Amino acid sequence: MKFATFNVNGIRAILGKGFADAFRAIDADLFALNETKWSDDSPGSFPFQPEGYETYFTNSKARKGYSGVAVFARNRPLSVHYGLLDGKYDEEGRVITLEYPAFYFVAAYVPNAGDGLKRLSFRMQYELDLLDYLNALKSKKEVIYCGDLNVAHEPIDLRNPKQNEGNPGYTKEERDSFSRLLQNGYHDVWRERNPDRAQYSWWSYRFHAREKNIGWRIDYFVLTEGLVPLVRDIRILDEVMGSDHCPVVMEADIDA
Residues designated catalytic: 109, 148
174 Ramachandran zone, left/alpha/beta (phi>0; psi -120 to 50): alpha
DSSP assignment, residue 158? B
What is the torsional sign of CA 31, 130, 221, 177? positive
Q: Confirm if 147 and 181 have CB atoms less than 8 A apart.
A: no
Select from 53, 10, 57, 7 the least CA-distant residue to 28: 53
Q: Confirm if 89 and 128 have CB atoms less than 8 A apart.
A: no
Pairing of strands 2-7, 248-252: antiparallel
> Whole-angstrom Cα distance, residue 150 to residue 247?
14
Between the alpha carbon of residue 187 and those of residues 22, 29, 88, 142, 146, the distances in Å are 27, 21, 24, 12, 11
